[in-house]
Amino acid sequence: MKKILGLTLGIMTALGGFVDLGQIVFTAQAGALFGYKLMWAIVIGTAAIIVYMEMCGRIAVVAKEPVFAVVRTCLGFPLGLTTLIASNLLNLVTCAAELGGIAIVLHLLTGWPERLLLIGSTVALGGIVLIFRFDWIERSFGLSGLLMIVFAVSAAVLHPDWGELARGLLPRFAEPDLKHTLLYGYFAVGIFSAMLMEYEVHFYSSGALEEDWTPKDLAQNFMVASFGCVLGSFLTIGLLALGALVFLPRNIFPELLSTTVLAGAFPFGQKALVLALLGTLACIAGAAVETALSGAYNVCQFFNYGWGKNMRAKSVPVYTATWIGMFVLALVIAVTGIRPLQLVDISIVFGMAIMPFTYYPILRVASDKNMMGKHVNSKFDVILGVVFLVLIIAAAVVAIPLMIATHSGRP
């Protein structure tokens, strides 16, 4: 039972990363524009995040080094600090977007005023993080996020073309004109980026240390990372399929969270709609917690302050003040009325641009025999790590030009 519950770290990490506000709408848009043609981006993204999540979990367990300590060691102080600032700005923007998304979902569930819900839900999330231990946070958000399965069930019930879906596993670059080719590239990079958002590895490696994993838990590390990511990937495929099944034939380009949620319950009735809303709420709230806590982990790990959700709040003051500060600042951004999806567009693309600075140090340390001993990367791990790092760098280079050329993916 304990091992099964242990999977919730992977589930919460992956759902908060894969199925957050941005990915929910972004993937449905990709399906609405290109049908199943971008399936391959989901599969490659999943493989990449499994490889790197496993590596950073292994480093945390063996070297007792969380990601940002590794970043500081490998990149040096100046570049490490720049990466820290950039990563935390992205965490902040993403957290603000998720808080805005929570208010939207609660408004759709209750009809109450959105601004009141925004403030109330942020206070409630802060209270949950303050009161509960790490394992209860990951269990509650991880398990409640499983309600998102209703999206995958809806997609299956709507009878996708399985042959076409399988053909989507192979990249095809045969769009009719330059505009569509650029859009195709933008969505491919965006899906890949959203699956590798930095806060996933920050949160996962910190979680492994919060849970006091030891080298005996390394087999579990692989299982937790793989299970969570495959589940997240399965739901992402469901979202892509819903875009292809519900929106593409109707010429709808979904630009609202409420539109995508509707697709998640399309073949069913009101109960499924409520389930879809609750599942979305759990995943978005999980992402908000993940980004706020990641911000605090990053700062404390970089500057070597004490940290840990399982420690008394007063005994780790910088850590506690930072995650509270993340929530407060994110709330301030969200209250200004900037649309959450606008924030998400920014975080996905700029997350891609700084991604190499997070993933390169992980690969380097996991391949360092002095630090990792017998748990050092195998040749196979290194090859996979290098291949995915090259893809990450390539995507990082083209992310911003594609965003500009496509006006953030507008058809």
**Residue ranges that bind other proteins, judged by CB under 8 A:** 82, 85-86, 89, 93, 104, 107-111, 246, 250-256, 258-259, 262, 265-266, 268-270, 273-274, 277, 338, 342, 345-346, 349-350, 353-354, 400, 403-404, 407-408, 410-411
> Rounded to the nearest whole angstrom, what is the least distance from the CB of residue 265 to other proteins in the complex?
7
User: Which token pair is 397?
Assistant: 């280079």
Q: Tokens 């490889």 — which residue? A: 51
Nearest to other proteins of 88, 220 (CB atom):
88
Q: Where are the alpha helices (DSSP H) in 246-378?
A: 257-264, 270-303, 317-335, 340-354, 356-366, 369-372
Nearest to other proteins of 111, 176 (CB atom):
111
Nearest to other proteins of 46, 154 (CB atom):
154
Nearest to other proteins of 108, 208 (CB atom):
108
Nearest to other proteins of 78, 269 (CB atom):
269
> Rounded to the nearest whole angstrom, what is the least distance from the CB of residue 410 to other proteins in the complex?
6
> Rounded to the nearest whole angstrom, what is the least distance from the CB of residue 204 to other proteins in the complex?
23
Nearest to other proteins of 126, 409 (CB atom):
409
> Rounded to the nearest whole angstrom, what is the least distance from the CB of residue 256 to other proteins in the complex?
5
Nearest to other proteins of 283, 403 (CB atom):
403
**Cα–Cα distance, 269 to 276 (Å, whole number):** 11
> Rounded to the nearest whole angstrom, what is the least distance from the CB of residue 371 to other proteins in the complex?
28
User: Which token pair is 22?
Assistant: 């941005």
> Rounded to the nearest whole angstrom, what is the least distance from the CB of residue 244 to other proteins in the complex?
15
CB atoms within 10 A of CB 239: 29
> Rounded to the nearest whole angstrom, what is the least distance from the CB of residue 99 to other proteins in the complex?
17
Q: Between the CA of residue 107 and those of 116, 150, 200, 278, what are the distances in Å?
A: 10, 20, 28, 12
Nearest to other proteins of 73, 408 (CB atom):
408
Following DSSP, what letter does each residue of 254-284 receive, concatenated? --SHHHHHHHHTTTS-HHHHHHHHHHHHHHH
Q: Report the b/e string of 162-182 with b at 16+ CB within 10 A.
A: eeebeebeeeeeebeeeeeeb
CB-count exposure of residue 188 (10 Å: 0-12, 13-18, 19+): buried
**First CA to last CA across the chain, in angstroms?**
48
User: Which token pair is 182?
Assistant: 């650029």
Q: Where are the alpha helices (DSSP H) in 35-169?
A: 39-62, 67-110, 114-131, 134-144, 149-157, 162-167
Give the Cα-Cα-Cα angle 300, 303, 305 (nearest 5 degrees).
Answer: 50
CB-count exposure of residue 61 (10 Å: 0-12, 13-18, 19+): buried
> Rounded to the nearest whole angstrom, what is the least distance from the CB of residue 324 to other proteins in the complex?
22
Nearest to other proteins of 92, 191 (CB atom):
92
Nearest to other proteins of 163, 337 (CB atom):
337
> Rounded to the nearest whole angstrom, what is the least distance from the CB of residue 251 to other proteins in the complex?
5
Nearest to other proteins of 240, 333 (CB atom):
333
Element (H or E) spanning 410, and its range? none
> Rounded to the nearest whole angstrom, what is the least distance from the CB of residue 339 to other proteins in the complex?
9
> Rounded to the nearest whole angstrom, what is the least distance from the CB of residue 261 to other proteins in the complex?
8
Following DSSP, what letter does each residue of 196-239 receive, concatenated? T-HHHHHHHHHHHHHTT--GGGHHHHHHHHHHHHHHHHHHHHHH
Residue type, 181: T
